Amino acid sequence: MSKKVLIEHEKSSILALLAAIDESMSLGDIEKSLTFSINKKTLQRRIKSLIDDGYIHSDGERNNTKYYVDKDKNVLKNVSKVLSEDLFKKGVRTKFENKDKHPIFSNSVMSLLSYLDTPSYAREKSSYQFTVIDEYIPNQTQYVPEAMRTRLYAAGKRFNEQLAAGTYAKKISQRLLIDLSYNSSRLEGNTYSKLDTQKLIEQGLSAEGKIHKETVMIMNHKEAIEFLIESASEIVLIPLTIRSIHSLLSQDLLANSHACGKIREVQVGISKSAYTPISNPHQLEEYLSLILRKASKVENPFEKSFFLFVQLSYLQAFEDVNKRTARLACNIPFIQQNLCPLSFIDVPQDDYLMSLLYFYETNQIEPALELFEWAYLRSCQQYEVITESLGEIDTYRIQYRADRKIVMGNIIRQKLDESAATKYLEQYCRENNIPLEDKFVSMTFVALSQLHEGSIIGLGITEKMFIEWKNT
């Protein structure tokens, strides 16, 4: 997006905001209410320009100055005119043309999204803007406004205690597997119903009349989500983690099987978009690492999640399955901090794609942020709020998790069969004073039976070791 068009978009958002409010607003109020970040001096310049053009007015002096649209003087008509004729010559509709409020997007964002009404071949061409990530400073740059963070945390909080990472996700794991697998696949055009998805995940029953690719897509989601849940306490935001998620999501789906979990070496295009991603593999690898390095430093889980959501989608680091990877990766902060996960329940495919395309081409986050907030609150409504005390949780499982991982790793490394593994576990319990020996042994065997290549992180073994043990 050119600087001129960007300025026009910023001015239109300010104008639409003031037109929708029945009272005057201070500079600070305007800054907080806008759905995108803008430097205060830049905001002052945009407001001054609108005042000079006669579209908004001010009252008061210095810190007490407030701004408003004078509805008594029929300024609303002029506002509509400037939005439709001056600021959005590229075919963008205004809030005044939208009689029915959109369930997700505000009127001002609907105006911005109408930029996409112009066919992609007629829109301004754009490429990956390195400054989008270069200029992002963790814990200083804010994609998610403070008021929104507070609102989302209040809705997503599930425990009053500090519990082990992944505790809440484990509590709702079966429901999460179905919801997230179904909705993430649906956003990719998968035609499985919610009920058929449940049957596939719980019973392994494929729905009749569905193509093999759709079945594989859902099962891949199941494995990838299980990896996130089971490895919650060990996961770190490094390229290997994202590549592992991609590998699980893309297995048996890509024409080039070697591309699973691997940084792409080919050029890709984005359907219905004027955006062209990076084509240099070295830059892709470098910027994936940079994105994750910055994300790992972000303290707020909602800022971290949204950052991963838009940045991983924008980078397009893999040949395919990039958006799916971003949708699961953005859940890592929620799973680790025992917040309600983001399952993208009821998110319309068109709205989802439009919000991302707008970010790809303009680098403006407003539509994606409003969609993110709506989707998260919608997810929170679907899961029963759990405020259990530590005494109601299986504290034994949590207390001896580290021991369980140690013995599982040793069993696999030594290629022990069930009989030898049982003797080893019993001896380990005696030597390490672990109570309830039978519970520990049975719990370990169940965990071993559920292992797969994507969930061996933290056991101190390689994939080759795991495969060799599994085949013994």
Looking at residues 196-208, what average pLDDT do you find? 88
Task: State whether 187 and 281 are in the same domain.
Answer: yes
Residue 259 lies in a domain: yes
Residue 169, CB half-sphere, CA atoms under 13 Å: how many?
26
Domain final position from 118, 135, 167: 118
Looking at residues 205-215, what average pLDDT do you find? 86
Residue 335 lies in a domain: yes
pLDDT number for residue 389: 37
Residue 389 lies in a domain: no
Domain around 104: 3-118
How many CB atoms neighbour CB 38 within 10 A?
15
Looking at residues 24-52, what average pLDDT do you find? 82
153-187 in b/e form (b: 16+ CB < 10 A) is: eebbbbbeeebbbbbbbbbbeeebbbbbbbbbbbb
Q: Amino acid identity of 17?
A: L
Give the SS3 label for residue 186.
helix
pLDDT number for residue 291: 96
Q: pLDDT tens-digit profile of 347-363?
A: 999 999 999 999 999 99
CA distance 170 to 198: 17
How many CB atoms neighbour CB 282 within 10 A?
9
Q: pLDDT tens-digit profile of 59-76?
A: 888 788 988 886 544 444
320 labelled ligand-binding: yes
CA distance 396 to 335: 20
Task: State whether 268 and 175 are in the same domain.
Answer: yes
Task: State whether 352 and 404 are in the same domain.
Answer: no
Band the pLDDT of 35: cuts 50, 70, 90. Answer: low
Q: What is the CATH number of the domain that holds 147?
A: 1.10.3290.10
Task: State whether 248 and 304 are in the same domain.
Answer: yes
Domain final position from 99, 118, 137: 118
Q: Amino acid identity of 8?
A: E
Mean model confidence pLDDT for the chain: 85
Residue 326 lies in a domain: yes
Residue 372 lies in a domain: yes
Report which of 368, 360, 296 is spatially closest to residue 132, judged by C-alpha positions.
360
Task: State whether 264 and 331 are in the same domain.
Answer: yes
How many CB atoms neighbour CB 337 within 10 A?
22
Task: State whether 89 and 151 are in the same domain.
Answer: no
Angle at 364 between CA 360 and CA 365, to 5 degrees: 95
pLDDT over threshold 80, residue 220:
yes
Residue 221 lies in a domain: yes
Q: What is the pTM of this model?
A: 0.66
Looking at the structure of the chain, the number of domains it has is: 3
Residue 250 lies in a domain: yes
Q: What is the CATH number of the domain that holds 51?
A: 1.10.10.10
287-291, 351-355, 381-385: which has the minimum mean pLDDT? 381-385
Task: State whether 273 and 137 are in the same domain.
Answer: yes
Residue 388 lies in a domain: no
Cα dihedral: 236, 240, 242, 248 (round 10)? -120
How many CB atoms neighbour CB 62 within 10 A?
5
pLDDT over threshold 90, residue 148:
yes
Task: State whether 279 and 340 are in the same domain.
Answer: yes
pLDDT number for residue 51: 87
Band the pLDDT of 92: cuts 50, 70, 90. Answer: very low
Alpha helices in 24-134 (DSSP H): 27-33, 40-52, 75-81, 107-113, 131-134
323 labelled ligand-binding: yes
Looking at residues 379-386, what average pLDDT do you find? 75
Q: Amino acid identity of 127?
A: S
Task: State whether 374 and 428 are in the same domain.
Answer: no
Domain final position from 101, 118, 135: 118
Report, in angstroms and rounded to the nearest whole number, the Rg of the chain calculated over CA atoms: 25
325 labelled ligand-binding: yes
Q: pLDDT tens-digit profile of 222-259?
A: 999 999 998 888 899 999 999 999 999 999 998 888 89
Pairing mode, strands 126-127 and 66-68: unpaired
CA distance 302 to 296: 13
Task: State whether 259 and 370 are in the same domain.
Answer: yes
Alpha helices in 348-390 (DSSP H): 349-362, 366-382
Q: Could you tell me how far CA 132 lies from the centroid of its own chain?
A: 17
Residue 411 or residue 9, greater confidence: 411
Could you tell me where the beta strands, DSSP code E, fall in 139-270? none
Task: State whether 223 and 276 are in the same domain.
Answer: yes
Percent of the chain with pLDDT over 90: 46
Task: State whether 55 and 137 are in the same domain.
Answer: no
Cα dihedral: 403, 406, 407, 411 (round 10)? 170
CB distance 323 to 187 below 8 Å: yes
pLDDT number for residue 79: 44
